[in-house]
Structures are given as C-alpha cells and as structure tokens.
Amino acid sequence: MHIIENGNVAAALGVRLCRAGVIAAYPITPQTPLTERLSEYVESGDMKAEYIPVESEHSALAVCIAASSAGARTFTATSANGLLYMHEQVQWASGARLPIVMCVVNRAVGAPWNVWNDQQDSISQRDTGWIQIYCCDHQQIIDTVIKAFWLAEKVSIPIMVCYDGYILSHTYMPFDVPDQEKVDAFLPPFKPEYALDPDQPANLNTVTLPDVRVDVHGELAHGYMEIRYLLQEDLRTTLKAAAEAEQRFAQHFGRGGDPFIEPYRCADADFVAVGMGSITYQLRVCVDALRKEGIRVGVMGVRYYRPFPDEAIAGALKGKQGVIVFEKALSYGYEGALASDLKSALYEHLAPTGSLPTVQNLIAGIGGREIRTEDLTQTLRAAIHERISKEPHWIGLKL
C-alpha cells in the first residue's frame, strides 16, 4: 500500500508492523509525533502493546531494558538532549545485550538551546556499543525499522535507527507500507535465549571482578573484560548479519540494496562526496550539475555507521582521486567523526596498494543552518579543483 505521510509516521507504522509489545517514551521535539502516533495505535486497538508514559528519557530506556529482559519486543525513540539523558541506560542496554530498537530523530544538542537538525546527538553515542543505521528518506525509515528488529534479535545488540529531524521527520513523502502478513513472515515472534521468569529467579548483570571467577554452579564465568571483548567481536560480525537481513528483506518485499553504502554515479567517478542521512540525496543534485560541467564526481551515502563497514567503504573508494566528506556533526577538538573513521579505513585497506585518495572534511547544517544546494555545489566544486586548505571547513559560517 502506497501512502503519503511524514517520516515519523513511517517509523510508527514500522513499529506497529513489527508488533512491538512494550513502548516507553518521553516527548521531545522532533520525536514527539512518532510516539504520539504509537500511543494512538495502542489506544484505538490497532496495536496490541503496552504503552508506558514515563517522566524522563532515562526512565523510558530503563523500562525498555526491563521489558526486554523479561522477553518482550521493545521500542523507544528520542532526540538530542533526551538521548544524552539516556546515556547511562544506553550503555547498560548494549552491555546487557538487549535487542532494543530506538529511533533517534536527529537534532542539535544544547547549550545553547536549539531544536533544529544536525547529527551531533547520535554521533555522540557512537561508542556505546549500539548498532547505528542512518536513513535518507521515508521508505528507508519504515524498511530500516523492520530490518532493525530482525537484526537486533538475531545478534542480541540494540539498534539506533537515525533520521534527520524536520527534514525527514515532519516532511511528507510517498512510501510503501508492507502487508502485515509479509512482515510476520519476515520477522517471527521474539524468542529470547533467556528471559526473566518469576518461577526461575535469577540475577542479571551483577557486579563483576577484574578477573574471571567461578559462578554458583562451579563453572568458570566471564569477567567484565571478556564480556566487553565479546560485545566488540559480535559487533564486528553483525556486518555479515546485516547483509543477511538485507537479502532476506529483498526476498520478502522485493526491494533492497547494499546494507552499508548507497552509491550514486560513483562507478566512473574520480571524486566522491560522502555523507550520512538526507544530505546525501541533496548532494545528488550537486553531482548532476557538476557532471554537466565535465567533472566526474559521485556521491556515496553511508547507511551503516556502527559497526563501521570499513572494507565496503574502502572497496567503493578504491582508485578514486579524492573524497570529500560532508558532515552534520563534529568530534570537537579534531574533525568530523565520519572523516576520521573513513581515513582509518582507507589507510588500513588502501595504503598497502599505494593508491590513497585525498580526504577533505566539510561541516554543514550545524544547529539547523540552511544548507543551500547552490552552496553545496560551489563548495564541492572548489574542493575538487582547488582543495580547501583549512579543515574541517565549515559551510555557511558567518563570523
């Protein structure tokens, strides 16, 4: 069924189709309409779930942690300072290996106070052990939510589905809503390997010591370091699981692609613009304009950011002269986080070949600053012809 709706509704429909059993949320702009719509589904009986309103984002994720520990499929959503308020529980959810799905509707963080879009909120949580996937349009939002539940439950790792506030959350676009029967065939009921049971009481996530120790059954148990090592190793293997999820999704719904990157006119490109989220679709207009000038340039969207798909990215950029990374966030004190990760991947995989492309880092749209397509085109042209010397270079900065 094709409909025209906003991005928050696309996410809510995805959650409903996945039959989430527990939803907990606290309102924060621009996420609020997403969880409001879910509460309406529950109230009207269109969705069989427990909707739990709480007093804070910290409590929202705490409820999801408890529900997931008891074996329920759980969902929450947040933005900006709400995500930062969750930070303790964000760490807990990944350490406890709970398959929670959370939509992060990207928004700038304070101070100073700002309710507009950039990606600093989710980027600030990149090292918490969650999978992070970025969406470019409404079809990707609903499809990614559905894939995220399957993947999270496959690998027992929580997932953030990130999409740009207002630019995607509040704008209307056409997208396809899958049939419930097809989603049920793709995503079976959640059956955790272990769930809390009153008839079989147990302690979860008790205090660990620096070294391994014998448990109550007399068996050698992992210590904290071993548990964290396994999380890291399992995060890396989710790259294979993500490819499996994409393949299964294509078989059930007839659409899909590369789960990690989304290239556009890159095959014969000498230069490639790289970014995450809606800006990569805007950059396609710039690429088309520069192609008419005879400049062989393409654009590549990074969909799967954590764990970082280093091999896929390096393979796609092999043989290119230059890479221009556009970001809506910053690792303060150095450069954009995506640019740093990309440089590391290129060095690891391409340095031995002696064909490293140059990398330039451009910062745009911080705090919702307008990103004019004309400005993007001019900056991309300048980066290709002249190489912008000061990096990271801020687009639209007025001092």
The tens digit of pLDDT for each residue in 60-86 reads: 999 999 999 999 999 999 999 999 999
Q: What is the pLDDT of residue 328?
A: 98
State the pLDDT confidence band at 185, using cuts at 50, 70 and 90.
very high
Instruction: Kindly tell me if the per-residue pLDDT of 390 is higher than 80.
Output: no
What would the pLDDT profile of 362-380 be if each residue is shown by its tens digit? Answer: 999 999 999 999 999 999 9
What would the pLDDT profile of 109-162 be if each residue is shown by its tens digit? Answer: 999 999 999 999 999 999 999 999 999 999 999 999 999 999 999 999 999 999
What would the pLDDT profile of 322-350 be if each residue is shown by its tens digit? Answer: 999 999 999 999 999 999 999 999 999 99
Residue 170 · residue 8 · CB < 8 Å: yes
**CA-closest candidate to residue 186, choices 254, 102, 98, 94:** 254
The whole-angstrom separation of Cα 116 and Cα 3 is 26
Residue 197 · residue 206 · CB < 8 Å: no
Instruction: Kindly tell me if the per-residue pLDDT of 197 is higher than 90.
Output: no
The whole-angstrom separation of Cα 116 and Cα 99 is 29
- Average pLDDT value for the chain: 96
State the pLDDT confidence band at 200, using cuts at 50, 70 and 90.
confident
Percent of all residues in the chain with a pLDDT value above 90, rounded to a whole number = 89
Instruction: Kindly tell me if the per-residue pLDDT of 4 is higher than 90.
Output: yes
Strands 322-327 and 271-275: parallel
Alpha-carbon 373 to chain mean position:
24
Count CA atoms closer than 13 A to 110's CA, side-chain side. Answer: 8
State the pLDDT confidence band at 210, using cuts at 50, 70 and 90.
confident
User: Under 8 Å CB-to-CB from 5, ≥6 apart: which residues?
Assistant: 13, 138, 172, 173, 175
Domains contained in the chain, CATH given: 2-186 (3.40.50.970), 261-394 (3.40.50.920)
